[in-house]
């Protein structure tokens, strides 16, 4: 649920007065801010998280005949995006304590056809993306549930070849809908921007109308500026739960050493 504060209302009012509701200056401002949040040099705003995943895979030349590794416990959007490219999803199990795949689990599923691995930071808990990246596979970091989290002192999103996040209504920041692709690779960024902009192109190729509106960008930008406060609040609430459950025989999701989770969800497993 979106709770519109004074800041969000001000952005919506500004857009209404400008008459610029489509892709415009607020979208570009959001891209600059999101690039910093995800530790990338480039960021491209898109219409939703699934679009971000689709474009991220296409930017890595994923297509028919390729395999893409993905966690078995994740949003169906991962499978949709893989199938959009014509590639085959290869599911990998998750660690029962972190709820994320380990590098060893991923290594067992690598084949000569593996083109990429989507690594999720499940429920806002960073995966060991550094070790997975060392396997030599192109990593797509899915930060949809983990914007604001850090691993080994770096923001999630800065470890893979490309990162994606979502601005859906339930995510860390929300604009109703929206997504972002971030990368340090200028070639990947240029390809994503080209593929997501179907109009006014000098040459025809199949492209996708994945542009984000300035209306959604204004909401997301206002929320992004409040991200640190959102994270602090979630961590404070999570600590209250942790303290209250200390004497109960339950299992809580376990952060890796060096991980700073954002507690997108607070998961309790019972015997």
Q: What value does the mean pLDDT take over residues 203-230?
A: 92
- Does 246 reside within a domain? no
Find the angle CA(129)-CA(189)-CA(146) to the nearest 5 degrees: 35
d(CA 48, CA 61): 21
pLDDT at 4 over 70: no
Percent of residues, the chain, with pLDDT higher than 90: 83
Q: What value does the mean pLDDT take over residues 98-115?
A: 98
Instruction: Read off the DSSP letter of residue 102.
Output: -
Say what the pLDDT of residue 271 is. Answer: 80
- Does 229 reside within a domain? no
pLDDT at 10 over 80: no
- Does 64 reside within a domain? yes
Number of domains in the chain: 1
Q: What is this structure's pTM?
A: 0.92
Say what the pLDDT of residue 205 is. Answer: 86
**5 vs 146, which has greater pLDDT?**
146
Say what the pLDDT of residue 19 is. Answer: 62
- Does 235 reside within a domain? no
In three-state secondary structure terms, 229 is helix
User: Where residue 83 sits, what CATH number does that domain have?
Assistant: 3.40.640.10
- Does 236 reside within a domain? no
Say what the pLDDT of residue 198 is. Answer: 85
User: CA-CA-CA-CA torsion for 111, 116, 121, 122, nearest 10 degrees?
Assistant: -60
pLDDT at 2 over 60: no
Say what the pLDDT of residue 200 is. Answer: 74
Percent of residues, the chain, with pLDDT higher than 70: 92
pLDDT at 192 over 90: yes
- Does 262 reside within a domain? no
203 contacts: CB under 8 Å, gap ≥ 6: none
Residues recognised as catalytic = 171
Average pLDDT over the chain, rounded to whole?
93
The parent domain of residue 173 ranges over 6-224
- Does 40 reside within a domain? yes
* β 259-260/67-71 pair status: unpaired
pLDDT at 1 over 60: no
- Does 270 reside within a domain? no
User: pLDDT per residue over 115-170, tens digit each?
Assistant: 999 999 999 999 999 999 999 999 999 999 999 999 999 999 999 999 999 999 99
Q: How confident is the model at residue 23 (pLDDT cuts 50, 70, 90)?
A: low
User: pLDDT per residue over 42-97, tens digit each?
Assistant: 999 999 999 999 999 999 999 999 999 999 999 999 999 999 999 999 999 999 99
**Strand ranges inside 94-138, DSSP E:** 114-120
């Amino acid at each position: 649920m979106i709770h519109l504060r004074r800041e969000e209302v001000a952005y919506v009012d500004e857009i209404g007065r400008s008459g610029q509701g489509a892709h415009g200056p607020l979208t570009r401002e959001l891209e600059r801010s999101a690039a910093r949040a995800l530790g990338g040099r480039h960021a491209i705003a898109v219409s939703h998280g699934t679009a971000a995943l689709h474009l991220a895979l296409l930017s890595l030349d994923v297509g028919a005949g390729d395999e893409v590794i993905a966690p078995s416990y994740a949003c169906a959007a991962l499978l949709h995006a893989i199938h959009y490219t014509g590639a085959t999803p290869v599911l990998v199990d998750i660690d029962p304590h972190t709820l994320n795949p380990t590098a060893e689990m991923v290594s067992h599923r690598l084949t000569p056809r593996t083109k990429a691995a989507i690594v999720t930071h499940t429920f806002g808990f960073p995966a060991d993306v550094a070790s997975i990246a060392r396997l030599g596979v192109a990593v797509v970091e899915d930060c949809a549930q983990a914007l604001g989290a850090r691993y080994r002192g770096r923001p999630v999103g800065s470890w893979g070849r490309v990162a994606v996040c979502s601005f859906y209504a339930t995510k860390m920041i929300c604009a109703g809908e929206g997504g972002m692709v971030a990368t340090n690779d200028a070639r990947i960024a240029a390809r994503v921007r080209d593929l997501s902009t179907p109009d006014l192109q000098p040459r025809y190729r199949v492209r996708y109308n994945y542009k984000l509106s300035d209306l959604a960008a204004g909401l997301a930008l206002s929320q992004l500026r409040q991200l640190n406060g959102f994270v602090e609040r979630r961590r404070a609430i999570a600590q209250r739960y942790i303290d209250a459950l200390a004497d109960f025989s339950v299992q809580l999701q376990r952060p890796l050493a060096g991980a700073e989770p954002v507690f997108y969800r607070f998961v309790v497993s019972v015997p």
